[in-house]
Structure 1
Amino acid sequence: MKKLVNYLISCVMFTALMFTVTGCGQDKKAETTAAPAVAEKKIYNWKMATTWSTGIPWHDTAVHFAETVEKITDGQLKIKVFPDGALVPAFEVFDAVRNGVVEMGHDWPGYWKGKDEGFVAFASVPFGLNNIEYSIWLMEGGGMALADELYGNFGLKPLMGGNSGQEMGFFTKNPVTDVKQLAGMKIRTVGWAADILKEMGVSVTPLPGGEIYLAFERGVLDSAEFSTPFITYPMGFQEIAKNVMLPGWHQTGVQNMFSINKKAYDELPPYLQQALIIASYETQMWDIARSEKKNAEAILKYQTEGVSFNKLDAQSLNELRKTTDAYLAKLRSTNPLLDRILGSQNDFIAEYSVWKDLRGGVAAFPKDEYLSGKHYE
């Protein structure tokens, strides 16, 4: 993705050079004419609050975006990134952006389900879109137009903020392969997964990332999840529990978003607005590539450290899916915009799944068939 940034910078420099060359071709009379004063470009200094501590890789995603914006605007738009608690606590970022305390925020939209359930649809839907599918839907399937509508209701402008892929699942102190084993346990999760598990009799606590480890270590929690293997590994849950309940049905694609105060956004000239959009596209793709590479590396690290991965049985997944469908149907019946958002996602899934299914079975190299050699048997 650095090539994209360098390309954009080159375009700006090339344009400037053309103006210079054109100027050199003027006749001597023109040379003696006083050049008009060139107005200095206004420098914009923005603040971005995030819901991440500096130890969480998503903080690096926010920094990457800010650095990209500064490069492609040649320093005209500078964004200083502040981690969780530096300016405002994690769960106050939304209001800080909305009220103009900061110009921007970076977060997982599911944190704002209390504002509108629609935000969760732009974060992760249980049994829903993965990272590539989220990107396609947002860019080409009408997703960003719906995001503009939802965020616009709160005076905000949304941009894609990266997608780290499918979550690995819940850390547990003992192996869990049946969802019924979760009954009576105290679990950390967020978003719609929290509500769905509550309906199944599970006690759920939606702690912010920085508070999970101590709560898990001290026994306040019996099980915890945070994100993908790469994002979760530095949090050290493997020091407390050596089992992980798979698959990550609750978040099949962890979509983060940037939010911009709409007034601040509207004050920018159009080319700087476009620079923000371009940087968000680049950041989305960069985060996917980085995360999937790091996810694979993290899983191998977990295995080296003695972590066991235990898959839920088919009956448990079916029960979770049925509970999810009933829960979402109830939400959609009371929220017209959410109904349209999820309807749009479902339409995309129905269309895309035909091609996805037809091309399956060979890429990306199913382990049992192609790496373990079963296709030779």
Structure 2
Amino acid sequence: MRPLLLAVALVGLAASAQAQSAKLKIQSAFSQSMPVLGEMIRNFESRMNAMEGHGVRLRVYDADKLVPTLQIFDAVSAGKIDAGFAWPGYWMGKLPAATVFGAIPFGPDAPEFLAWLHEAGGLAIWEEIYRKQGVVPIPCGVIPPEASGWFRKPIESEADLAGLKVRYAGLGGKVLQKLGASVTMLAAGDIFLSLERGVLDATEYSMPAVDKNLGFYKVARHYYFPGWHQPSSVMELAVNEKSWAKLSASQQAAVRTSCDAATLWGLTRGLALQGKALTYFEKEGVEIHRWSPELLARFRQAADEVMEEASAQDADFARAWSSLRAFLAEHGRWADIAYTDR
């Protein structure tokens, strides 16, 4: 009798373990060999794998392996893949409010962005907006300021932007459009060839260490700062709602915890690599510029207009931006007096 009871118990335990196992098929928007951006999903995966007992098996695919990068969100929403690791601003054409959770011109730095998301209601708004698309957003990375872009010729005045063919993502691209540039959106793998062939006059992509990996300095020698268009950028793990519901509470907690850890790692890694990259560019003869005060003022003015217009056109955008702006105003009272000048 006892052997029979033991056998039944073992079968029950096996069935329970099987019921708790889960798979997540994830496509990244970035090559996993790309510094910081590509490394973050690997960091997330390694942290998940280091946790024992949660039963979640991950399969991470590189950029464009399952679907084109700019179609990741649609594929997740439709259930074609379980999840995507990407920058929310890539979906701005389909879901204008998404970019509010990714980067804002002249907006928050990385700690401020995370504070709004996790402590001031930003994530709750994000979840409500994505729920309409059958997607669960999880903050899963953040990076420090991007560079403002690579240009074949120096930009000395607003007139130099007129007709400029430039790859610029998110709301920053809308700002340059207002100032006369011809803006297009390309995935990382398509940029260099377009720049080399003269299809583009300029491009932005990310931080110096990432841009170095993509080789833009070989064909565009003028590198501009600061990255007013993305003072910080939040990355997401966007999960299909049904795939997320199949995970137990402890499995969901493991995913969120691993994303939190990857976020901290991405920020520190991002900060650590940029000085070396700039030194490399200087040795290669790249001309590093800082935007003139006059052009920065024009960028800011145009950015204010872009934010106002986008809010008028989309209620979700307006709601998210209103929340973030209110947080920054309240937080700013303290931030203005809390820090010494560098």
> TM-score, normalised to structure 1's length?
0.84
Q: 2:264 aligns with which of 280, 285, 294?
A: 285
1:50 correspondence with 2:28:
yes
Distance 2:99 2:336 in 1: 27
Post-superposition CA distance 1:153-184 (Å, at most 9, x none): 10011111211111111111222243332222
- Which residue identity does 1:51 align to in structure 2? A
1:88 match: secondary structure:
coil
Q: Which amino acid aligns with 1:39?
A: L
Write the letter of the residue equivalent to 2:95.
D
Identify the residue that residue 15 of structure 1 maps to in structure 2.
none
Distance 2:136 2:218 in 1: 40
Point out where structure 1 has 5 or more consecutive residues left out of the alignment. Answer: 1-29, 367-377
Q: 1:231 to 1:272 in 2, by over 3 A?
A: same
1:107 partner letter: A
Take 1:34 and 1:200, find their aligned partners in 2: how far apart are those partners? 75
Percentage of pairs with the same residue: 28
2:164–2:180 CA contact under 8 A, matched in 1? no
**Deviation per CA, 1:205-257, whole angstroms, max 9, x where unpaired?**
11111111111111111111101112222001111122112211111112111
Shift of 1:34: 5.2
- Unpaired stretches in structure 2, ≥5 consecutive residues: none
Q: 1:1-377 residue pairs with structure 2 within 5 A?
A: 36-37=9-10, 39-40=13-14, 41-42=17-18, 43-57=21-35, 58-74=37-53, 76-362=55-341, 366=342
User: Do the aligned partners of 2:54 and 2:250 also contact (CA within 8 Å) in 1?
Assistant: no
The answer (yes or no) to whether the contact 2:32–2:41 under 8 Å persists in 1 is no
C-alpha spacing 1:179/1:249, structure 2 compared with 1 (3 Å): farther
Distance 2:228 2:268 in 1: 21
- Structure 1 residue 360 displacement after superposition: 2.9
> Match of 1:109, as an amino acid?
P
**Further displaced range: 302-311 or 287-296:** 302-311
- Separation in 2 of the partners of 1:233 and 1:254? 18
Distance 1:130 1:158 in 2: 20
Which has the greater radius of gyration? 1
RMSD of aligned residue pairs (Cα, Å): 1.8
In structure 2, distance between residues paired with 1:73 and 1:322:
51
Structure 1: distance between partners of 2:32 and 2:91: 21
SS where residue 111 of structure 1 aligns? helix
- Tell me, in whole angstroms, the C-alpha distance in 2 between the residues paired with 1:289 and 1:179: 35
Q: Distance in 1 between matches of 2:6 and 2:150?
A: 72
In the TM superposition, residue 73 of structure 1 has moved relative to its aligned partner by 4.4
Q: How many residues align?
A: 332
CA displacement at 1:75 relative to structure 2: 6.0
Moved more, 168-177 or 92-101: 168-177
- Classify the secondary structure of the residue corresponding to 1:204: strand
- CA distance in 2: counterparts of 1:179 and 1:165, whole angstroms: 27
Given that 1:196 and 1:324 are in contact with CA atoms closer than 8 Å, whether structure 2 keeps it comes out as: yes
DSSP-derived class of the 1:39 partner: helix
